[in-house]
Amino acid sequence: MDSSRHRPGPTIAEPYRRTQHGPLWVILLAAGAALAAGASAPGIDRVAAVALGAGVAFMVLLALCFATLTIEDTGDAIAARFGPLPVFSASIPFASITGVRTARSTLLDGWGIHWTPGKGWIYNLWGFDCVEIHHRGTTTRFGTDDPEGLAAAVASRAGLPIDTAP
């Protein structure tokens, strides 16, 4: 019997996909619960109760938007999506990437989605590890609990070495 017929063929690596879970949603729900307690307090003014109720709804909505951060290879781009309610996302085509490296954000950089002068956009759920991606003359940082894996995946798909930030 020829043993070469029973050897498995080469495997194709799975595209990068990782979901990070952060505690921010718990903080947002706790704030919503505090607002709900205030809205249901005896003797509260009706307008104040409605305003607090709107605050509760807003906190629950934010908690659903920022419970997770999924970063994945979509075939032609690396994409980041907050969830489970997928309202906020970003996508960077691999063809536009000119540099990639692991980095660290600071407490002043914060969490969520925002633009910082001199640093570009950041999409971060929790923690300080991130991957800095240079593309089309700008910088985007994706927060992650797998900086080495994400940087390697992006660099490989973009045809670049890691730590090639301009």
Indicate if the pLDDT at residue 155 is higher than 80.
Answer: yes
Taking the C-alpha atoms of residue 163 and residue 88, their distance in angstroms, rounded to an integer, is 27
pLDDT in tens, 84-140: 999 999 999 999 999 999 999 988 787 889 998 888 999 999 899 999 999 999 999
Tokens of 92: 């960077």
Indicate if the pLDDT at residue 8 is higher than 80.
Answer: no
Cα-based torsion angle of the residue sequence 15, 78, 110, 82 in order, rounded to the nearest 10 degrees: -70
Rounded to two decimals, the pTM is 0.81
pLDDT at residue number 164: 59
Instruction: Name the nearest CA neighbour of 138 among 80, 72, 93.
Output: 93
Cα-based torsion angle of the residue sequence 32, 143, 89, 67 in order, rounded to the nearest 10 degrees: -30
